[in-house]
Amino acid sequence: MKRVAYYKGCLASLSAKELDSATQALAPKVGLELVELESVTCCGAGDIHEAEPDYYLHLNARILAYAAAENVDILLTVCNVCTLNLRQANFMLTGDADLRARVNENLVSVGVPAYEKDVDVRHLLWEIAEGEGYELLKQSAHRGLKGIKIAPFYGCQILRPSKIQGFEDPDRPWSLERIIEACGGEAIDYPAKIKCCGFPIIQAREETALGELIQPIEQAYEAGADAIVTPCPLCHLSLDAWQSKLKKATGRDFNMPILHLSQLVGVAAGLEESELKFKRHVVSVDPVIEKLQI
């Protein structure tokens, strides 16, 4: 078992609780022992980075410090946006001794342990797409996804900017496809899989956001996908919950089920509905479950 600090972020704590429960249930099957961080806050989702950049840095340093205090090497995330915000802050701190010293001084002055030992921020996707995690995934995905066509949707911030994320080629990513195939499903290829779901501006500029959102759903639908899988709960929320608004705006009803990465692997590994919590989705996942004949 690999002991990692687990940062679930806002959505998995609140509106996407299904992501948290599926991840917690899946973790031991892919060799991860999750140490849940209690004293942590929101990463700022890119918004605090813009509104109060220095506060953003301190908030993320605090999360990194609490992870390091658990004496682990990896801080595990399940959200694209958390991953980017934390990795960006981590590079800022580990690459600039003066900045780190100032931030640490502030952390200590409010009672947070200083961020001394470095941790690496890694998304669950990266942990199970290669190495030990991938081997265990192959073994545990015994139930399989036979006959199911899955459209991988990466979202933006797990791929770009690649100089901060850097796990795979941002134009030709392979990790989700590899996992889908290891689970016995068929991965669908379509151009919008690396594009934006529109979530960051879905409240401030809804029309523009819907214009982005329709691309992956429409392309996956036309390629015959049974469901879309995404490693990001924000992509999940817009793809799943905003489909009704898309229907209202365009008159097209795609009825496309959207799965979290942990749920997709969880189904293949035979997790229970009580752990996967498909009932919490807006677009029903039943057609996929029926096709699998569970």
Partner 1 sequence: MQVGLKVWRFNSRTGERELQEYEIAAPEEATLLDCLDIVKDQHDGTLAYRKSCRMMICGSCGMRMDGAAVLACKTRMYDIAQAGHVPVISAMGNLPIVKDLVVDMEPFWEKFRSVDPFLQPGYEEPPDGKEYRIDQPRMNVIHKEALCINCGCCVSECNSMEADPNFLGPQALAKAMRFVGDPRDGNKIARLEKLNGEHGIWECTRCYMCTERCPKGVDPRDAIAKLGAESMYEGIDRDMGAKHANWFVVSAKTTGWLRETELVPKTQGIISAIKQTRFALDLARKGKVPPPFPPHVAKNVKESRRLYELTTQQGPKGYMGIVQGEHALSRLAHGHTGEETLAEIYERPGAFKRPFIAGEELEAPVFLEKPPER
Q: Which residues, numbered 53-112, are part of the site for partner 1 (CB under 8 A)?
A: 53-55, 57-59, 62, 88-89, 91-96, 99, 106-107, 109-112
Binding residues for partner 1 restricted to 130-159, rule: CB under 8 A: 130, 156-157
Least distance to partner 1 from the beta carbon of 36, Å?
Answer: 11
Looking at beta carbons only, is 31 or 216 nearer to partner 1? 216
Looking at beta carbons only, is 149 or 236 nearer to partner 1? 236
Looking at beta carbons only, is 143 or 280 nearer to partner 1? 280
**Whole-angstrom distance, CA of residue 228 vs CA of residue 236:** 9
Helix (H/G/I), strand (E/B), else coil: 172: coil
Binding residues for partner 1 restricted to 28-57, rule: CB under 8 A: 38-42, 44-55, 57
For partner 1, the binding residue among 101, 223, 282, 294 (CB under 8 A) is 282
Which tokens sit at 250?
Answer: 């365009």
The amino acid at residue 268 is A
**Whole-angstrom distance, CA of residue 87 vs CA of residue 155:** 17
Least distance to partner 1 from the beta carbon of 126, Å?
Answer: 10
> How many CB atoms neighbour CB 244 within 10 A?
12
Cα dihedral angle (265, 89, 74, 231), rounded to 10 degrees?
A: 0
Region of 142-150, 224-232, 264-272, 280-288 interacting with partner 1 (CB under 8 A): 280-288
Which tokens sit at 236?
Answer: 């999940």
Binding residues for partner 1 restricted to 182-211, rule: CB under 8 A: 191, 195-196, 198, 200-201, 203-205, 207-211
For partner 1, the binding residue among 28, 36, 174, 252 (CB under 8 A) is 174
Residue 124 dihedral angles phi and psi, to the nearest 5°: -50, -40
Tell me: cis bond preceding 161? Omega within 30 of 0 counts. Answer: yes
State the binding string over 230-259 for partner 1 (x if CB under 8 A, else -).
-------x---x--xx--------------
What are the beta bridge partners of residue 34? 4
**End-to-end distance of the chain based on CA atoms, in angstroms?**
29
